[in-house]
């Protein structure tokens, strides 16, 4: 099958692309600068007998999304939205520009391209859409609610999309990775037992994709943690410093 990966320069996307390539799937790697995924494209093609395309795609340039999708040489069987932007929360609460970028990258950009893909998959009555959301979207916390609320929006969007497309035979999967050891989190003091390696995330996403899972936590511990966090009554939760 052919898999479209949107936001192919992140560590998670690189791990996904390599894993999918090793499993024999053709790839379409989309990044803001297509040059930046050129060496990854070659790496995967040398290692495996698959075709890899590199495509220019800017998540924030909504007007270009329809065109970019139409330009693909073949329409993908699976589309994975990996791009996201953690941003600086403390900057974002004061500076609208940063806040806007967090919202737009994580929510608006994803919705814009997924609308296009969803319509195509629906009319073809086939395909799978995977959205990388976040455990941060399960409940807003003082330390990262800008990112968290954008991801909450994405989670709700994916849930609705799954409901709509089920009736056309299209599957939608939501992934909530938890902490992942990537460039995005470099320098953050993440607790090792709660942190997954990008390669492990890639494997988990692939097997969940084959198993047509709906909502996936990469490390099961995160399901437990978020269930507990979500169960805390609001009058207590608001007093915590999370």
Partner 1 sequence: MSKTSVANWGNFPIIEADKISFTTVTELCDLAQSKSTCIARGNGACYGDASLGSTIISTLKFDNIIEFDEVNGVLSCQSGVTFDALLRFLIPKGWFLPVTPGTKFITLGGAVASDIHGKNHHVEGTFGKHILNMEILLASGAVVNCGPDEEVDLFEATCGGMGLTGVILSVKFRVKKIESAYINQVSIKAENLDEIFELFEKYKDTTYSVAWIDCLQGGSSLGRSLLMVGEHATAVDAKVKNPLQLVGHEQKLSIPFNFPNFVLNKYSIKLFNFLFYHKQFKKITRSVVTFDKFFYPLDFIKKWNRMYGNRGFVQYQFVLPIENSKAGLYKILDEINRQGMGSFLAVLKLFGESDGLISFPMKGYTLALDFPIRDGLFEFLDELDKIVLQYGGRIYLTKDARMKKEVFWQSYPNAEKFKTIIKKYNPDFKWKSLQSDRLQIS
- What is the set of active-site residues? 147
192 binds partner 1 (CB under 8 A): no
The only residue of 3, 5, 7, 11 in contact with partner 1, by rule CB under 8 A:
11
The only residue of 23, 47, 71, 164 in contact with partner 1, by rule CB under 8 A:
47
71 binds partner 1 (CB under 8 A): no
The only residue of 6, 12, 14, 205 in contact with partner 1, by rule CB under 8 A:
14
42 binds partner 1 (CB under 8 A): yes
H or E segment and range at residue 53: strand 52-56
Nearer to partner 1 (CB atom), residue 50 or residue 215: 50
Residue 160 burial by CB count (10 A; 0-12/13-18/19+): exposed, middle or buried? Answer: exposed
Nearer to partner 1 (CB atom), residue 184 or residue 232: 184
Letter string b/e over residues 44-81, b meaning 16 or more CB atoms within 10 A of that residue's CB: beeebebbbbbbbbbbeebebbeebbeeeeebbbbbbb
Of 58, 1, 42, 55, nearest to 25 (Cα)? Answer: 1
Pull the structure tokens for residue 158.
């994916």
Query: CB under 8 A: which stretch of 41-49, 133-141, 155-163, 164-172 binds partner 1?
Result: 41-49
What are 128's strand-pairing partners?
Answer: 78, 171
Instruction: Report the interface residues with partner 1, using CB under 8 A.
Output: 9, 11, 14, 36, 39-40, 42-43, 46-47, 183, 186-189
């Amino acid at each position: 099958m052919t898999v479209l990966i949107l936001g192919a320069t992140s560590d998670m996307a690189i791990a996904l692309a390599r894993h999918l390539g090793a499993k024999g799937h053709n790839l379409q790697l989309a990044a803001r600068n297509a040059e930046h995924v050129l060496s990854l494209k070659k790496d995967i093609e040398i290692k495996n007998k698959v075709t890899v395309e590199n495509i220019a795609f800017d998540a924030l340039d909504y007007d270009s999304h329809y065109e970019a999708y139409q330009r693909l040489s073949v329409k993908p069987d699976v589309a994975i939205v990996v791009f996201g932007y953690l941003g600086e929360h403390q900057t974002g609460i004061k500076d609208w520009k940063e806040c806007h970028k967090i919202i737009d990258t994580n929510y608006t950009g994803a919705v814009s391209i997924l609308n296009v893909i969803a319509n195509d998959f629906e009319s073809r009555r086939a395909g799978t859409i995977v959205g990388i959301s976040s455990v941060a979207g399960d409940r807003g916390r003082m330390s990262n609610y800008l990112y968290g609320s954008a991801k909450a929006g994405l989670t709700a969007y994916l849930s609705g999309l799954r409901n709509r497309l089920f009736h056309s035979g299209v599957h939608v999967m939501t992934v909530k990775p938890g902490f992942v050891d990537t460039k995005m989190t470099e320098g953050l003091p993440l607790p090792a037992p709660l942190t997954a390696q990008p390669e492990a995330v890639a494997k988990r996403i692939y097997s969940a994709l084959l198993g047509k899972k709906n909502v996936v936590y990469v490390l099961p511990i995160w399901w437990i943690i978020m269930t507990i966090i979500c169960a805390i009554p609001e009058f207590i939760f608001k007093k915590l410093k999370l």
